[in-house]
Structure 1
Amino acid sequence: MVHLKAILHPKKVKKEKTIYRLALRVTNFRKRSYFHLGYNIDPNDWDEKAEKVKKSHPKYQHLNRLIRKKYDQLDDIIYEAERNKTQLSAKQITDKIRDNTRNKSFFDFAKEHVEDLEKSKKFNRAISDRSKAKNIKEFTKGKDVLFQEIDENFLRRFKIYLKNEKNNSERSVMNSYVFIRLLFNRAIKNGIIDQSFYPFGRGKILIKYPESLKIGLTEEEILKIEQLDLQTHTPLWHTRNIFLFSFYLAGIRITDVLHLKWNDIIEDRLLYRMKKNAKLDSLKLPEKVIVILKFYREDQRSYADFIFPELKKVGDDETKQKYSIIKGAIKKHNSNLQNIAKLAEIDKKITNHIARHSFGNIAGDKVSPQMLQKLYRHSSLSTTIGYQGNFIHASSDQALNEILKFSTEKKN
Structure 2
Amino acid sequence: MATLKTVLHAKLDKKGNKLHRLALRLTVNRKRSYYHLGQKLKPEYWDEPSEKVKSSHPKHKQLNRLIRKKYDEIEDIIFELEASKQNYSAKQVVDSIRKNTRRLSFFELADEHIEDLFKANKHNRAISDRSKVNRIKEFVKNRNLSFEEIDEHLLKKMKIHLLNTVGLSERSVMNFFVMIRMLYNIAISKKIVDQKFYPFGRNKIKIKYPQTIKIGLNEMEIVKIEKLDLEQNTAIWHTRNTFLFSFYLAGIRISDVLRMQWKDIVGDRLYYKMNKNNKADSLKLPKPVYEILHHYKNMKVSNADYIFPDLKDVPINDTLAIYTGIKTAIKRHNTHLAEIAKLAEIDKKITNHIARHSFGNIAGDKVSPQMLQKLYRHTHLSTTIGYQGNFIHKSADEALAEIINFSK
* 3-state SS, counterpart of residue 298 of structure 1: helix
Measured in 2, the distance between the counterparts of 1:163 and 1:370 equals 38
The match for 2:208 is 208
> How far apart are 1:319 and its partner, in Å?
2.7
> How far apart are 1:318 and its partner, in Å?
4.3
What is the CA deviation profile of residues 255-309 of structure 1, one whole-angstrom value per residue up to 9, with x for unaligned ones? 1101111111111111111111111111111110000000000000102211111
Q: How many residues align?
A: 320
* 3-state SS, counterpart of residue 192 of structure 1: coil
Measured in 2, the distance between the counterparts of 1:389 and 1:313 equals 41
The match for 1:226 is 226
The match for 2:380 is 380
What is the CA deviation profile of residues 227-246 of structure 1, one whole-angstrom value per residue up to 9, with x for unaligned ones? 10000000000000000000
The match for 2:190 is 190
Q: Describe the shift of the 1:89–1:142 C-alpha distance in structure 2 as closer, same or farther (beyond 3 A).
A: closer
The match for 2:99 is 97
Amino acid at match of 1:152: E
**Counterpart check, 1:355 vs 2:355:** yes
* 3-state SS, counterpart of residue 282 of structure 1: strand
* 3-state SS, counterpart of residue 315 of structure 1: coil
Measured in 1, the distance between the counterparts of 2:392 and 2:92 equals 67
Measured in 1, the distance between the counterparts of 2:289 and 2:224 equals 17
Contact 1:150 1:199 in 2 (8 A): yes
* 3-state SS, counterpart of residue 271 of structure 2: strand
Measured in 2, the distance between the counterparts of 1:372 and 1:326 equals 27
* 3-state SS, counterpart of residue 236 of structure 1: helix
The match for 1:328 is 328
The match for 2:391 is 391
Measured in 2, the distance between the counterparts of 1:172 and 1:113 equals 20
Measured in 1, the distance between the counterparts of 2:380 and 2:120 equals 27
Amino acid at match of 1:369: P
Amino acid at match of 1:94: S
Amino acid at match of 1:214: K
Measured in 1, the distance between the counterparts of 2:147 and 2:292 equals 53
Q: Give matches, 1:1-400, under 5 Å.
A: 91-92=93-94, 94-101=96-103, 104-400=104-400
Amino acid at match of 1:187: A
* 3-state SS, counterpart of residue 102 of structure 2: helix
Amino acid at match of 1:176: F
The match for 2:64 is none
TM-score, length-normalised on structure 2?
Answer: 0.76
What is the CA deviation profile of residues 43-96 of structure 1, one whole-angstrom value per residue up to 9, with x for unaligned ones? xxxxxxxxxxxxxxxxxxxxxxxxxxxxxxxxxxxxxxxxxxxx9987345312
Amino acid at match of 2:260: L
Tell me whether 258-267 or 227-236 shows the greater mean CA deviation: 258-267
Amino acid at match of 2:252: I
Measured in 2, the distance between the counterparts of 1:303 and 1:111 equals 38
Unaligned runs of 5+ in 2: 1-88
Measured in 2, the distance between the counterparts of 1:219 and 1:241 equals 17
Measured in 2, the distance between the counterparts of 1:346 and 1:278 equals 34
Measured in 2, the distance between the counterparts of 1:344 and 1:130 equals 39
Amino acid at match of 1:136: I
* 3-state SS, counterpart of residue 215 of structure 1: coil
> How far apart are 1:316 and its partner, in Å?
2.2
Measured in 2, the distance between the counterparts of 1:213 and 1:141 equals 36
Amino acid at match of 1:370: Q
* 3-state SS, counterpart of residue 313 of structure 1: coil
What is the CA deviation profile of residues 198-237 of structure 1, one whole-angstrom value per residue up to 9, with x for unaligned ones? 1001011000001111100011110110010000000000
* 3-state SS, counterpart of residue 282 of structure 2: strand
TM-score, length-normalised on structure 1?
Answer: 0.76
Tell me whether 134-143 or 389-398 shows the greater mean CA deviation: 134-143
Amino acid at match of 1:236: I
Measured in 2, the distance between the counterparts of 1:113 and 1:380 equals 26
The match for 1:33 is none
Amino acid at match of 2:168: N
Amino acid at match of 2:134: K
The match for 1:44 is none
* 3-state SS, counterpart of residue 293 of structure 2: helix
Measured in 2, the distance between the counterparts of 1:221 and 1:95 equals 68
Contact 1:121 1:318 in 2 (8 A): no
Measured in 2, the distance between the counterparts of 1:127 and 1:402 equals 51
Contact 1:334 1:351 in 2 (8 A): yes
What is the RMSD of the two structures over their aligned residues, measured on CA atoms? 1.4
* 3-state SS, counterpart of residue 283 of structure 2: strand
> How far apart are 1:310 and its partner, in Å?
1.5
* 3-state SS, counterpart of residue 177 of structure 2: helix
Q: Describe the shift of the 1:158–1:236 C-alpha distance in structure 2 as closer, same or farther (beyond 3 A).
A: same
Measured in 1, the distance between the counterparts of 2:296 and 2:244 equals 14
The match for 1:28 is none
> How far apart are 1:111 and its partner, in Å?
1.1
Tell me whether 284-293 or 311-320 shows the greater mean CA deviation: 311-320
Amino acid at match of 1:328: T
Amino acid at match of 2:351: T
Amino acid at match of 2:269: R
Measured in 1, the distance between the counterparts of 2:374 and 2:318 equals 28
